[in-house]
Amino acid sequence: LHLNACTQCCLCVLNLYRYEREEMIKIAQQKKKEKMEEKLARQKVKEQIAQDRAERAAKTSGAVSPQQTATTLSPAAPVESPPKKEYNEARLQIRLPNGSAITQTFGASEPLSAVRLYVQLNRGDGDVGPFSLMTTFPRKIFKEDDMETPLKELGLVPSSVVMVTKQ
């Protein structure tokens, strides 16, 4: 009697294990299928974008029909990005240790030391101790070497958040 109950228990555990394994396989297959469908949908959208761009280009040039342009372009053709805009100002939001923030616009070619001086003169938190400047994304703590580097080279143009931290 005891052996029979133990055997049934083991069979139940094995059946449960098989069921769980089958369910895991089904879930994995479903995820794989969904991933493939998403990939195909993204590819269709990319192709549609390329076709729309080709049609727009044909309309502006008037030389080639949209159908001819769409057939000559491959879906993997590189897309030229518009020229980057040259910014000559940096709008900085400066977050102080007490949680308050001050916003100021600086020239893109001004050194980081100008921001440091502005913070020293305009801190409203009452703290006069030494401090350092940093950005959170991408995380960078500015050192003395960076103080003479233009804001543009530090990646603070056209706008950025600069944190003031106590040293």
Q: 153 vs 85, which has greater pLDDT?
A: 153
Decide the pairing of beta strands 159-166 and 89-95: parallel
Residue 91's closest CA among 159, 141, 37?
Answer: 159
Q: Higher pLDDT residue, 15 or 23?
A: 23
Of 41, 72, 103, the residue at which a domain comes to its end is 72
Instruction: Return the SS3 of 106.
Output: strand
Q: Domain total for the chain?
A: 2
Q: What is the mean pLDDT of residues 137-150?
A: 93
Q: Which two tokens stand for residue 67?
A: 């159908």
Query: How much is the average pLDDT of 96-112?
Result: 94
Q: State what percent of residues in the chain have pLDDT above 70.
A: 84
Residues in the chain: 167
Please write the tens of the pLDDT for every residue from 41-74.
999 999 999 999 999 998 888 755 545 544 554 5
In a domain? residue 78: no
H helices, E strands: number in the chain: 3, 5
Residue 81, in any domain of the structure: no
